[in-house]
Amino acid sequence: MGKASLLLLSLVVPRINLKGYVVGNPVTGSDYDDNFRVPYAHGVGIISDQLYEAAIRNCKGSYIRPTDKMCARVLNTFQNLVSEIDLPQILGVNCIRGMLTHKFLSEEYTQLSDPSPEQPTLDCFAYRYYLCNIWANDDSTREALGVKRGTTGEFIRCKKSIPYASEVPSSIKYHFNLTSRGYRALVFSGDHDLVIPFLSTHAWVRSFNFSVVDDWRAWHLDGQAAGFTITYANYITFATIKGGGHVSIEHRPKECLAMARRWLDNEPL
């Protein structure tokens, strides 16, 4: 970095007194996000040893963009198998199957965001999202929120039609820059998420090559293991939420609250 850049950095006055940040099952936009779905699915028994070995042999460790027919065939088989699973929470009810069709792992997973064209059943976790759209579009709700009639159209949770250009191929370097400068970071993952598996997240955390301060161990709540954690230099803590899915605070709110309180109080998990 040149002297001019260093001078500009020295002149920057922080607008907020940032001490650290928390991210959960974070999407980074990098290949890390998708490439660990295959080994994770094998680890939890969704795909067979034979299919996993075929994936390793034919895809050479890259499960996102198949470069030959054999790899493509393996990944198509993989997709057929995982289509039977609720990806955000692999133990959940796969009640909105058919909303999406996937062609390999590089396609965006939108099941959590886009509203189902049909009303989900009560045992479906996404039923609350269906209710959210009804609540937000109710006239009394809009009046209470001060939404002026005619100023906005129908509310759709995480509306996909909003024009948005993704210009950042990966956010990992920003995590590295922040933690390298001493900002505390809590990076947590629900261990039953197949959208962004905990293996993916831990892999990019490990890529920073920070030394281990507190090695891999269980963290507890009410005398039981609530997950597992490891702490690295530069104040970065990685933790899993046992039984948590893609949005762990929805599946394990008690555990997530305990984890957040301890981290905010600067206590070990």
pLDDT for residue 96? 62
Task: Count CB atoms within 10 A of the CB of residue 136.
Answer: 15
pLDDT for residue 263? 97
Q: Which fold has domain 172-264?
A: Rossmann fold (3.40.50)
Residue 223 has pLDDT above 70, yes or no: yes
Instruction: Among 12-16, 40-44, 107-111, 180-184, name the one with the lowest average pLDDT.
Output: 107-111
pLDDT for residue 14? 64
**Is the pTM higher than 0.85?**
no
Give the residue-averaged pLDDT of 190-215.
Answer: 97
Q: What's the CA angle centered on 195, arms 193 and 196, to 5 degrees?
A: 80
pLDDT for residue 123? 81
Residues 230-262 have pLDDT tens digits of 999 999 999 999 999 999 999 999 999 999 999
Q: How confident is the model at residue 69 (pLDDT cuts 50, 70, 90)?
A: very high
Residues 3-44 have pLDDT tens digits of 444 444 554 566 778 899 999 999 998 899 999 999 999 999
pLDDT for residue 1? 38
**pLDDT > 90 in the chain, percent:** 63
DSSP characters over the chain: --HHHHHHHHH---SS---EEEEES---SSHHHHHTHHHHHHHTTSS-HHHHHHHHHHHTT--SS--SHHHHHHHHHHHHHHTTS-TTSTTS--TTTTS----STTSPP-TTTSPPSSPPPTTSTTHHHHHHHHHHTSHHHHHHHTPPTTSS----TT-TTS------S-SHHHHHHHHHTT-EEEEEEETT-SSS-HHHHHHHHHTT-PPEEEEEEEEEETTEEEEEEEEETTTEEEEEETT--SSHHHH-HHHHHHHHHHHHTT---
| Extents of the domains making up the chain | 116-157, 172-264
